[in-house]
Chain A
Amino acid sequence: MHLDGIVSRVISLAKVPGNRRRAEVAEELRAHLEDLAEEVRTQGYDEEATARIVRMRFGEPQEVAGAFASVYAPERLAKLILQSAILVSASTVAVVVVIGTVQLIAAICSATSIVPILRGIHQEAFGFGAITAGYCSVYAGERIFPASGVKALLPSVTLGLWLAAIFGWLIPQHAALPLAAFACAAFGRLLQRVEMPLLWFAGTALPLLTAWALVGPLISGWQFPWLVWLGLTVSCKALQQIVRLFEKVFVEDFA
């Protein structure tokens, strides 16, 4: 008798949030199926017939799972929004810390003032947001479409187009840098999936080189924005660690 098979099929499809609750639902269904099987057996049916009758009376696991999924849909959505907010916030903080540190070290090494950077902080903010958005949108695509690499790019491409329109409208003179940063971070995430050490390191440079070739220096006085590239590659590494930590903390939802 495959009572456990029915239970695990329901549980795997039901998307009940929380490990404890999932275990409780499984226990409850198992108890029901055991009672049902016992009842059928006492009526004189053999094991094969019992299994058939139990399955018939219980219903299709997909149908039961679908009903459970709709009961817990609002809770799942709320949890997803909260988790996404946590991931985006933590990622943004990490990007600010990494880029800020790189800029500070560069300012110290070149004995230049950081005042101009602080004055242009509102423009930097677009870059920080773009890096987080680029990286996290590819990650979101991986989660939404785990089976298709092409489809996984959809959120990133869609968001990229929206950002191009928004940056083009808000900061038309400086839109190229945050857009290049967005593409770099997205590329960085994509290349981190390839099992070749440090490939992402070079990969983040590709969108920057393209932007440089298309629109010229992204930062006045810089032929190639080395600092931006360094900041981006280190940011991608930090973001990878944050995503790993995120999956560890919310492990039950990534089981």
Chain B
Amino acid sequence: MPFDRELLKGSIALLILKLLSERDMYGYEIIQESLRRSQDAFEFKEGTLYPALHQLHKRGYLHSEWRTGKNGKQRKYYGLTPGGRKAARRSEQEWLSFTKVVNAILAKAKA
């Protein structure tokens, strides 16, 4: 089921922070990983990932460096800064609290 664009937009920063909290990745890898974990349900325009990455980088949540990947090609890898780790934890907590509240409302509405 395709998700609402605005919903995806609002959660993209959290997903980036969460994925990068596990290891450094480059843009294409982030897309592949989110598709794999969501079993291809999490689809969004891939080009819009990069402005989001740059925004987080500007906020000081990410560091970046060009590295040579497995196939010998140069890729720009992103990783979390200490501030980014804190932001990742905070965003995750916020998201969990938010979904808990929304779920509670939905459950009540069903009942």
Task: Decide if B48 touches A71 in the complex (CB within 8 Å).
Answer: no
Task: Decide if B55 touches A32 in the complex (CB within 8 Å).
Answer: no
A57 and chain B: residue at smallest CB distance:
B46
Size category of the binding interface on chain A: 20 to 34
Task: Decide if A25 touches B50 in the complex (CB within 8 Å).
Answer: yes
Q: Does B45 sit within 8 A of A, measured CB to CB?
A: yes
Among B27, B45, B46, chain A packs the most CB atoms within 10 A around the CB of B46
Task: Decide if B75 touches A67 in the complex (CB within 8 Å).
Answer: no
Query: Which of B1-59 touch A at CB < 8 Å?
Result: 26-28, 45-48, 50-52, 54-55, 58
A72 contacts across to B, CB distance below 8 A: 54
A-B contact count (CB 8 A): 59
Residue tally, chain B, CB below 8 Å to A = 17
Q: Does A59 sit within 8 A of B, measured CB to CB?
A: yes
Query: Which of B57-96 touch A at CB < 8 Å?
Result: 58, 73-76
A28 contacts across to B, CB distance below 8 A: 27, 50, 76
Give Cα distance in the complex from A70 to B76, angstroms.
21
Which of these, A36, A57, A68, contacts B50 with CB under 8 Å? A68
B28 contacts across to A, CB distance below 8 A: 31-32, 35-36
Task: Decide if B76 touches A31 in the complex (CB within 8 Å).
Answer: yes
